Structures are given as structure tokens and as C-alpha cells.
Structure 1
Amino acid sequence: MVIVASAGGIPAVSAVLGGLAGDITVPISVVQHRAAPQDDHDALAEILSHRTRLAVRVAVEGGSAAQPGITVVPGHTMVTIDPRGRWAFGRLPWNNRPGDALLVSSAAESPTIAVILTGMLNDGSEGCCAVQSGGGVVIVEDPRDASAADMPNSAIATGCVDAVLPLRDIGAALAVLTQTDPAA
């Protein structure tokens, strides 16, 4: 599962993850547009560790992308999943769409659940179509709920979305999907 968010994303991601049971075994990756950390401390990982019952870690280059729990992509970093199922770090391109990069690489490896939350511009749109083409499921936050509606609206405009839900309902939908669908 890959969750992509930008402006207003920390409360949205917290709401989605906070509602999940602690026994979900599907690996969850979180891409939140944010500045690069000034030290080895990842504030988003710390925040999420207090808001969910799942284990939270920061992605480490070369580490397994298949670990259960939540893996946070470091701020201002392009991270993909390589063919061996490991985290691969790269430079951010000029268009700075880390959500698309992770979604496309995840969908190439296995059916993926994509969650596009609040944010400006259009990160996640290309990834939605890759996820759906790869047999995965795409859930988008209802733009009327979002702090910034651009990313949800852009995802919906692709036609590659399975469900548009209010933020409060996304966690429940994910719980159902992870119990009945092997997509990760």
C-alpha cells in the first residue's frame, strides 16, 4: 500500500493510519511532500508512531520494502522499489513527484493499493493509472474534504480511480481491502 499526500497531509495521513488495526500485515509506505530533514531525526515517523498501533520506520536505501507496518519516505527524497523488493533512493527530478515514482515502481512489482490524499499539483496521478493497470486498487480522498484539492482532483481526472471517499471512511475501506485482497 502506498499513501501519497502533500499540503495538509500530516493530519490526513494520521487520520487514515490511526484507524487501522495493529495486526495488518500489508506493508504501508507513506510519501509526504516535505523538506529534507536537517539531521537523522524524521519528524513524520515520530508523529505517526504516536498516532497508530502499527510499527513505524523510515525507509533505508537497500532495505526491504516488504516489511509489515509503516515505512516513511524521507523528506525531499525520491524512493522507488527495485526488482529485488528493496528501497532504491534517487535524486528528485525537476517535477518533484515522489508519489508517482513510488506508485509506479510498486505497481510494477505487485498489485498495489494506492491512496491519494490532500495536496497541491498532481503527484500521484500517473501512479494511479500504473496501479490500476497492474491490478491494484486506487482510493482518493474526496476533494471536498481535502485541505488542498489539487492532488485528489488530478487523480480523479485520470479515470483510474476505484473509489472517492471522505477522509473518515478511507481507513475502514483499507481495513476491508487488506483482509480480502492480497494487493499490497
Structure 2
Amino acid sequence: MTADQPSAGPYAIVAVASSAGGIQALSTLLGALGPELAVPVLVVQHLDPRHRTVIADVLSRRTDLPVKLAEAGEKPSPGTVYIAPPDRHLLIGSDGILTLSSTELVHFVRPSADLLFESVAGAYGARAIACVLTGTGMDGAMGAEAVQSRGGTVIAEDPQTAEFPGMPRAVVDTGAVDFVLPLVEIAAVVHGLLEATGQ
């Protein structure tokens, strides 16, 4: 299936990437997705590996969705948010099972949005949605191209309104983007995509 062909079935997964400013952006997005989400959400947020992370606890207070750090060997459940642990790449296999990796940094970061998006593209093809939110650098741009090349849908936060525009701008600059939206509009578009294919 090519990127210009319609999806053959409903979306199966949402993958989200953020970096600087990401906790607030994720709070806004996840809080607006609501409790009845039909697919799992995988998140790469760049975190300081030197400290124990409380991101799952923080985000749990800001959304009705269950939020947890991803664990190797898990099969993601619909309506649950899985966050890459600090200093571990998060990937998903064609069998729908999560894996964690300590392989080398990609664009100076681990976890890498590029690796997550590429694994989601490989596992789900046209049934994947990838979202890139605020952040510095270019992590997520190559992965977004992979998602779109497999027929998936790519959403970038509008660089004009992002707290840190580097990551979403890098995605927009590739041309591999279907929607460029203010942060507050992304959740509604995700819901619209899920509902349009669920009929």
C-alpha cells in the first residue's frame, strides 16, 4: 500500500514524540483524548536518565487514561498510555509486543522517536498514527517519513505555536506530514480519524 491509497482498516495505534516542553504538551493532548480511546498510545518523551522519572505519575493526574512506563514483553492494551523509560528505546514488533533496547543513541537521544515510529510503521503500516509535539532537534523526522511511506498518518504540532518548534518543524520540512495543527486541536483530529475508520 502506498501513502496515497486509503487505509484498508481502522487505525490500531497512536505513537507520540516530544522533548523540551513535552510534559505540558502531553498533558494537554492526553487529557483531551478522554477515557474511551480505542487504541493504545506509545510515547517517547526525552527524559534525563540520571534521575528516577515520575512522568507516568504526573501524566496520570492529568488524563483519564491509564499511564505507565512501558515494559518489555507487554502487549499494549487499548486506551492505555505506554511511556518509554529513561535511556531505553521503545519499539513494537509485528507481533504487537513491546521491546526495550539500550542500543546506541539516535540523533544524540535515547529513547528515539525515529526508532519508535519506524517500528510502528513496520508493524502497523496504514493503521498507524504518529504525532510529533514540541521539542528541540530533529528526532521523529525520519520516523515520520517511515510512517507516511507505509500509508500511516502523521500529525505535527504547529511550529508557530509549539513551545519549542525544532522537532515539529523538522517533520514539517520533510513533507511527510498530513496535519499541522495547534496542540489543542490534535486530540480532536485523532478522535476523528479513529471514528472515521471505525464505522
Superposition TM-score, scaled by structure 1 size: 0.92
Choose the corresponding residue for 2:64, options 53, 70, 89.
53
> Aligned residue for 1:121?
137
> Aligned residue for 2:86?
75
Please list the CA deviations of residues 118-144 of structure 1 after superposition, one character each: whole Å capped at 9, or x if unmatched: 111100001111111111111100101
Amino acid across the alignment from 1:108: G
Please list the CA deviations of residues 149-177 of structure 1 after superposition, one character each: whole Å capped at 9, or x if unmatched: 11011000111000100111111111111
TM superposition shift of 1:37:
6.3
Choose the corresponding residue for 2:54, options 43, 46, 50.
43
> Aligned residue for 1:102?
116
State the aligned residue count. 180
> Aligned residue for 1:25?
38
> Aligned residue for 1:34?
47
> Aligned residue for 1:142?
158
Computed over aligned residues only, the root mean square deviation of the Cα atoms, in angstroms, reads: 1.5
> Aligned residue for 2:6?
none
Structure 1 CA distance for aligned equivalents of residues 194 and 36 of structure 2: 10
TM superposition shift of 1:67:
4.4
Asked if the contact 2:35–2:79 (Cα under 8 Å) also holds between the matched residues in 1, the reply is: no
Shift in alpha-carbon separation, 1:107–1:139, aligned structure 2, 3 A? same
> Aligned residue for 2:175?
159
Structure 1 CA distance for aligned equivalents of residues 164 and 40 of structure 2: 26
For 1:79-98, list aligned pairs within 5 A. 79-94=90-105, 95=107, 96=109, 98=112
Asked if the contact 1:99–1:123 (Cα under 8 Å) also holds between the matched residues in 2, the reply is: yes
Superposition TM-score, scaled by structure 2 size: 0.85
Asked if the contact 1:76–1:92 (Cα under 8 Å) also holds between the matched residues in 2, the reply is: no
Choose the corresponding residue for 1:3, options 16, 28, 33.
16
Structure 2 CA distance for aligned equivalents of residues 122 and 181 of structure 1: 30
Asked if the contact 2:36–2:79 (Cα under 8 Å) also holds between the matched residues in 1, the reply is: no
> Aligned residue for 1:176?
192
Segments of structure 1 that go 5 or more residues without pairing to the other structure are none
TM superposition shift of 1:36:
2.4
Segments of structure 2 that go 5 or more residues without pairing to the other structure are 1-13
TM superposition shift of 1:83:
2.7
Structure 2 CA distance for aligned equivalents of residues 11 and 165 of structure 1: 16
